[in-house]
Chains A and B, each alone.
Chain A
């Protein structure tokens, strides 16, 4: 079953299969009777985008925004295979965004705002990063009562090895075969350090639970189902009301940072509005000050030196390759499933 889903995902990426893509939510903001409609296709849910969207709408009162949410693979399907007409594509799947731009499906756009971006936040004037979102460990405060909180992967490893009975079945992480973001985080982890594989093996031995979204993982930590959620989007955890139940740790050995990016697909009709929205996203994130794209208020923990921003660019295409994907997933399965 899992293999089936995986091959489906891959076929979406590499071999066109034309079917309608799946939408999660859709809503419309702004004035009803206007011809200025910006159609956005995004992986970010409404709760996430609303604080960025509302100032845009009040800045341009004659512009309406039609906001469609879909998973990263569905977004890819819509743009890559179905050539659906959207004016802007926002996605956390940096690899897929890179592929869209690399394959000539994105338009170039330059403005004062895009030129103010640091090199790593702009690829070929086509992909623009507007957030930095770290992959965090979310630790249940209850489960870690009386224990010292691990700050690095090594510390996490040793705490898992030390108290296997405490954490058996209580460690959760992304299923890389089903989540694009999980795959992205895992491949970057593996690329940066061998510790990832040791950690995966240990998690496998502890009967790790696999998830497809950060939100459900955090839910599980809150309910006590999980003691540790590994590689969770820090920005999601940070914005939750029930923050007191857990501690967000950005591993200080290295913290993988995902950049949420926007691009204008070649099928866009209102490139002017799309450009305005991109400028707005960049300027809004820039307000934070010299660090530019703010790190989702990860507060005192952020150490610039331990940040590993995922690099936009052709390097990411490697993980979309059929062979690479197969060999990575094979290795991941043998490490984590321990069957």
Chain B
């Protein structure tokens, strides 16, 4: 059948792989982005609450009788312990002079002039987040800066981040799954036009060499346009070879026909019996070569037409009658009685020229090999879904050599004994029958004589 296609890789698989790799990269990226955003938000919220605490302390600082008083509100620290049991440290300084809190907690100084600065540091073996806020304060004549630093451990923060981390992992993973699904769908839909093209091309009849006209995606345009131009060339060369076959047949047959006519004219004029015999043999030889040449050309023609079969309804009995009529002169020349047997009305779908050619070859063989006082019967029978064309003769039959396949090209039986032939007849018949979905059977009848059956599906 169709020649094997060598496959290397798959566009769809490639596409899916690339998309999956992309999705995986994006998922990882997403994971890190979500995590870093979460970290930032968590940090900001902790910073805000630390700043709020420091602000509450600063707001409650006042100078009374030249002395600084700070009425720390309960909420300043209780708000820090709201979410989790974090440790809280603080330090209050006036112009770098320690006033209250934890003396070893040093404020973080920013380079800029911002009154709030945040930072992370190690304090008593634990990581803490600190917020330092400043406020100018007037103590009698001199003024100073009150600095409040509030710090908090980060256990809760860490727990929160671990939760966020898990969450972003899940987001990344589900993103990946979703993209994988989309990738599969995308790959499928991307290759769909290709499948559609392949289907539409293989659905075509053998003779259908029209260019593909359905719109295709841009990427497939080069393929389709080269396919179209390929078909164009094919169509052209097919037309050429058909022409060549017809031309060749004509060129071979015409001179042979001229020679035959001359030989017949000569036969009429020749009187000596031995000379007449020679001329008659000459005519027969011309006929045989003409037929052999014809068969060679037929073989080529059949090969060509069978590949591009365009079936039409054929009335088989009518075809048989016509053929038998045209072969009558030949059978008479051989002293063979050619008769039409039962002709059951039947129709098959096929190429009329090919069928005619096949049937002619079978009848021709029967006439050729049936010998002296031969008889050939042609009949058409209906067998259920099939139509059978049977050609019987009363000759010696097929040689019974099971090794030899007479259907092969140039294969001839050992019973030919000087009978001219090309060995292509049955080859052609077999080819035609198979092109029409039928079968060829040849066998010998029990009472002697060959029987060739062509059976076609009826329509």
> Which residues of A are in contact with B by a Cβ distance under 8 Å?
14, 101-104, 123-125, 191, 311, 313-319, 321-324, 326-327
Q: Which one, B71, B74, B87, contacts A323 given CB within 8 A?
A: B71
The answer on a CB contact under 8 Å between B81 and A324 is no
A101 to nearest B CB, angstroms? 8
What are 10 residue pairs bridging A and B, where the CB atoms are less than 8 Å apart in the complex? Answer: A101-B87, A103-B102, A103-B124, A104-B87, A313-B81, A313-B85, A314-B80, A314-B81, A317-B77, A323-B68
- Hey, what's the 0/1 contact readout for B100-133 against A, CB within 8 Å counting as 1? 1110000000000000000000001110000000
CB neighbours (8 Å) of B126 from chain A are 104
A319 to B125, CA, bound (A): 26
Q: Does B88 contact A (CB under 8 A)?
A: yes
B209 to nearest A CB, angstroms? 84
A327 to B69, CA, bound (A): 7
Q: Does B171 contact A (CB under 8 A)?
A: no
Q: Does B161 contact A (CB under 8 A)?
A: no
Q: Which one, A124, A311, A319, A324, contacts B70 given CB within 8 A?
A: A324
**B61: nearest residue on chain A (CB-CB)?**
A323
Q: Which one, B68, B85, B92, B125, contacts A124 given CB within 8 A?
A: B85
> Knowing that A311-B78, A316-B77, A323-B72 are A-B contacts, what are 18 other residue pairs whose CB atoms are under 8 Å apart, sorted by A's residue number?
A102-B87, A102-B88, A104-B87, A123-B85, A313-B77, A313-B78, A314-B86, A315-B77, A318-B72, A318-B73, A318-B74, A318-B77, A321-B70, A321-B100, A323-B69, A324-B72, A326-B69, A327-B70
B150 to nearest A CB, angstroms? 10
CB neighbours (8 Å) of A317 from chain B are 77, 88, 90
Q: Which one, A14, A103, A191, A314, contacts B77 given CB within 8 A?
A: A314
A168 to B43, CA, bound (A): 57
- Hey, what's the 0/1 contact readout for B52-89 against A, CB within 8 Å counting as 1? 00000000000000001111111111101100011111
Q: Which one, A102, A104, A323, A327, contacts B99 given CB within 8 A?
A: A323
The answer on a CB contact under 8 Å between B77 and A324 is no
What interface size band does chain B fall in? 20 to 34
Query: Which 5 residue pairs of A and B lie closest in terms of their CB atoms, listed nearest first?
Result: A315-B78, A124-B85, A314-B88, A313-B81, A323-B70
**A313: nearest residue on chain B (CB-CB)?**
B81
> Which residues of B are in contact with A by a Cβ distance under 8 Å?
68-78, 80-81, 85-90, 92, 99-102, 124-126
**B88: nearest residue on chain A (CB-CB)?**
A314
CB neighbours (8 Å) of A102 from chain B are 87-89
A324 to B69, CA, bound (A): 8
CB neighbours (8 Å) of B72 from chain A are 318, 321, 323-324
A101 to B70, CA, bound (A): 24
CB neighbours (8 Å) of A313 from chain B are 77-78, 81, 85
The answer on a CB contact under 8 Å between B78 and A323 is no
A321 to B69, CA, bound (A): 11
**B124: nearest residue on chain A (CB-CB)?**
A104
Q: Which one, A314, A316, A322, contacts B100 given CB within 8 A?
A: A322
A326 to B126, CA, bound (A): 31
A102 to B78, CA, bound (A): 13
CB neighbours (8 Å) of A319 from chain B are 74
Instruction: Say yes or no: A321-B101 contact (C-beta < 8 A), given A124-B85, A314-B88, A326-B69.
Output: yes
The answer on a CB contact under 8 Å between B71 and A315 is no
A156 to nearest B CB, angstroms? 24
A318 to B124, CA, bound (A): 20
The answer on a CB contact under 8 Å between B71 and A327 is yes
CB neighbours (8 Å) of A315 from chain B are 74-75, 77-78, 81
CB neighbours (8 Å) of B124 from chain A are 103-104
The answer on a CB contact under 8 Å between A318 and B76 is yes
B263 to nearest A CB, angstroms? 124
A324 to B100, CA, bound (A): 10
CB neighbours (8 Å) of A314 from chain B are 77-78, 80-81, 86-88
**A125: nearest residue on chain B (CB-CB)?**
B85
A218 to B88, CA, bound (A): 37
CB neighbours (8 Å) of A103 from chain B are 87, 102, 124
A314 to B90, CA, bound (A): 11
CB neighbours (8 Å) of A316 from chain B are 77
A319 to B69, CA, bound (A): 14
**A318: nearest residue on chain B (CB-CB)?**
B72
- Which of A123, A316, A323 has the most chain B CB atoms closer than 10 A to its own CB? A323
The answer on a CB contact under 8 Å between B92 and A323 is yes
CB neighbours (8 Å) of A322 from chain B are 99-100
A323 to B100, CA, bound (A): 7
A326 to B81, CA, bound (A): 24
A323 to B57, CA, bound (A): 11
A4 to B68, CA, bound (A): 20
A315 to B82, CA, bound (A): 10
CB neighbours (8 Å) of B87 from chain A are 101-104, 124, 314
**A122: nearest residue on chain B (CB-CB)?**
B85
A182 to B126, CA, bound (A): 34
A121 to nearest B CB, angstroms? 12
CB neighbours (8 Å) of B68 from chain A are 323
A124 to B125, CA, bound (A): 17
A324 to B68, CA, bound (A): 12
A256 to nearest B CB, angstroms? 14
A317 to B78, CA, bound (A): 9
**B71: nearest residue on chain A (CB-CB)?**
A327
CB neighbours (8 Å) of B75 from chain A are 315
The answer on a CB contact under 8 Å between A104 and B125 is yes
Instruction: Say yes or no: A324-B71 contact (C-beta < 8 A), given A104-B124, A123-B85.
Output: yes
**B67: nearest residue on chain A (CB-CB)?**
A326
The answer on a CB contact under 8 Å between A191 and B74 is yes
A316 to B69, CA, bound (A): 19
A36 to B71, CA, bound (A): 47
A319 to B68, CA, bound (A): 17
B11 to nearest A CB, angstroms? 59
**B68: nearest residue on chain A (CB-CB)?**
A323
CB neighbours (8 Å) of B90 from chain A are 317
A11 to nearest B CB, angstroms? 13
A191 to B74, CA, bound (A): 8
